[in-house]
Amino acid sequence: MKKLTHILAGLALALGISPAIAQDGPLRIEITEGVIEPLPFAIPVFIAENAAAQEYAAQLSQVVAADLAGTGLFRQIPRDAFISNVSNFDAPVQYADWKAINAQALITGAVSVAEGGRVNVKFRLFDVFSEAPLGDGLQLGGTTTSWRRIAHKVADQVYSRITGEGGYFDSRVVFVHEEGPKNARQKRLAVMDYDGANVQYLTGSASIVLAPRFSPNGDRVIYTSYETGFPKIYIMDVGTVQRRILDDQPGTMTFAPRFAPDGQTVVFSLERGGNTDIYKLTPGGTAQPLTNAPSIETAPSYSPDGSQIVFESDRSGTQQLYKMSAGGGEPTRISFGEGRYGTPVWSPRGDLIAFTKQHQGRFHIGVMRTDGSEERLLTASFLDEGPTWSPNGRVIMFTRSGSGAGGESALYSVDISGRNLKRVPTPGAASDPAWSPLLP
């Protein structure tokens, strides 16, 4: 168990969670200093309980493994290293065989597909070195077309049981799909699973679209479009793809919208006569200014409890981050480092604010505490911008753009520890990702 503890300690660090009391229970990721080494897990191909389940069993276990390994916190043990296999979901686990290949966690599953296309998945998670199940077995069902979601839910369960954190795999990302060269770029709204699967386009490419964001329950997307020739905010129902303009005051531009946690109030930027301030709109109401300054005030984002708004302003002469009461009032500056700070986004856990920093010709994604302390930069490149939080507040996705004539944009993700930076697969160039909440 000494080794397990050590590994878990490292994993916990990778999650970047603030120090917590040591857990007595085994197979638990702890938060402390240490070397990062991914936790090795074994996931035999899920058992197909009938012929129709065959293709889903293989794919489901593959997606579960990819979810876990993709976090950088877990490492899949190749199946050809297995000593014993699992051919019966209810057979006793041969712990010695899994210990021998140093599997710390074992995930077993069984899949059946019923008449009419319903897929049913059972799974169990075992702590190999404690020789005990970790949590109860669980059964999940859905249509065959939603098999990936079921796999993500299994992976979320495993992740949660081992880390003690909420999962984030069963989630979606809305983003802007891009085509064409920099000086004639076409943009369309698209939505996909967090891992790039199941891409669906929400708009055509006739008008520029920018910076979509999900409603708190993921049923709607709010974004900016040039449909009228001028930037205006639209709200779209993701299911029906029906959209409506939010607020059309002639002679104004509106952009940078976000929902309040209540899912009804919207906060956004409104430009009039060259000056941009932050406004809020409640259902049935008219747009109310929350700031009133000759400087640029934009990129507002609510705290998860809805009581505060963080935003950017150049009132000091350069772009900096400020927070204020959700009702407006005197803002407090929270960014004091060198360079310019923009696009602040409050973590769903409420503990951190992610931002874009521009300094000496480079762009960074970073996080700071909500009072501006403990700033940490997670990335550096020619152009990184626009962070969005995973539903559990552990991972940040953002846009990375290349320089020069051939420079394209792509989506990247990084842990809030700064580890596990990787490109998110998209069908082409992409920008402006926004993560959904965990799906129900």
Residues lying near another protein in the complex (CB under 8 A) are found at: 181-185, 208, 210-211, 229-231, 251, 253, 255-256, 269, 271, 273-276, 296, 298-299, 312, 314, 318-319, 342-343, 356, 358, 361, 382-383, 385-386, 401, 403-405, 407, 432
Distance in angstroms (rounded) separating the CA atoms of residues 15 and 373: 19
**Closest distance of CB 226 from another protein, Å:** 8
Type of residue numbered 200: Q
**Closest distance of CB 204 from another protein, Å:** 17
**Closest distance of CB 338 from another protein, Å:** 16
**Closest distance of CB 290 from another protein, Å:** 15
**Closest distance of CB 41 from another protein, Å:** 39
Backbone angles phi, psi at 87, to 5 degrees: -110, -10
Is the Cβ–Cβ distance between 371 and 322 less than 8 Å?
A: no
Instruction: Pick between residue 166 and residue 402 the one whose CB is nearest to another protein.
Output: 402
Instruction: Pick between residue 117 and residue 181 the one whose CB is nearest to another protein.
Output: 181
**Closest distance of CB 396 from another protein, Å:** 15
**Closest distance of CB 399 from another protein, Å:** 8
Instruction: Pick between residue 8 and residue 310 the one whose CB is nearest to another protein.
Output: 310
Is the Cβ–Cβ distance between 417 and 16 less than 8 Å?
A: yes
**Closest distance of CB 251 from another protein, Å:** 7
Instruction: Pick between residue 60 and residue 296 the one whose CB is nearest to another protein.
Output: 296
Distances (CA, A) of 434 to 174, 220, 344, 359: 5, 12, 13, 24
Instruction: Pick between residue 185 and residue 376 the one whose CB is nearest to another protein.
Output: 185
**Closest distance of CB 349 from another protein, Å:** 24
Instruction: Pick between residue 10 and residue 386 the one whose CB is nearest to another protein.
Output: 386
Distance in angstroms (rounded) separating the CA atoms of residues 107 and 127: 9
Task: Report the candidate in 186, 254, 258 with the shortest Cα–Cα distance to residue 220.
Answer: 258
Instruction: Pick between residue 183 and residue 286 the one whose CB is nearest to another protein.
Output: 183
Instruction: Pick between residue 8 and residue 299 the one whose CB is nearest to another protein.
Output: 299
Instruction: Pick between residue 207 and residue 392 the one whose CB is nearest to another protein.
Output: 207
Is the Cβ–Cβ distance between 333 and 316 less than 8 Å?
A: yes
